[in-house]
Amino acid sequence: MKGFILAGGLGTRLRPLTYEIPKTMIPIKGKPVLQYNIELLKRYGIKEIVLGIGYMGEKIKEYFGDGKKFGVKIHYSEEKEPLGTAGALKLAGRFFKSTFVMCNGDELKNINIKRMVEFHKKHKPLATISLKKIDNPSEWGVVRMEDKKIVEFVEKPKNNPPSHFINSGLYIMEPEVINMIPNGNVSIEKNIFPILAKKGELFGYFSRGQWFPIDTKERLDKAVKYWKGF
């Protein structure tokens, strides 16, 4: 199984820090956030990884190279202009011909990928997303569940979120999802997950491990303080 990590974001909410470094390369306890994501995939036997890069991608390439010193094989899929989370996946689509793992590179997470893959293969949807329960879900992708199936996916609902269960940024997917993505700048959260939910092809896997996004200064400070690693 191959992995795809999104690492091309501008990190505008972390400026001025991200004027000099891509947000996935911000160090937490001595390692870039992106390295923890690579190590998570490697931990579960996923050693061929595609990094979707864009903004200051050369700094990511310089650090990780071909992945050999990290015990993995790294490919790069480079955006010439911002394509969004789904557009970046479509650009890298040639690498994925069977079930694969996709995750956000600007989060620290500890998810049992082995169990999540087993869950995905048991229920056989086109996509399974990891979920967390939080008190204030309105700034995230929020789901409404019927048993283990996600029947509604709403990205950042301003009013009356359908539940307290949110997308925590790691997915098991079938390559058919890539065929659903139109050309251009496309969001997987806004444009693809809602369609999959309506089709009954989106399932949710509840993760108990730590999860820390680092997309704002406040969240970054929290991650630095509380992240325990694997």
Among all residues, which ones are annotated catalytic? 156
- Pairwise CA distance, residues 146 & 137, whole Å: 18
Biggest CA–CA distance in the chain, Å, is 47
> What DSSP assignment string belongs to 31-89?
EEHHHHHHHHHHHTT--EEEEEE-TTHHHHHHHHTTSGGGTSEEEEEE-SS--HHHHHH
- What DSSP designation does 163 have? -
- Within 8 A by CB and 6+ apart from 23, the residues are 9, 11, 14, 17, 33, 106, 214, 215
Which residue matches tokens 């789904």? 86
- Inter-CA distances, 161 with 153, 210, 220, Å: 10, 23, 25
Phi-psi region of 86 (alpha: psi -120 to 50; beta: other; left: phi over 0): alpha
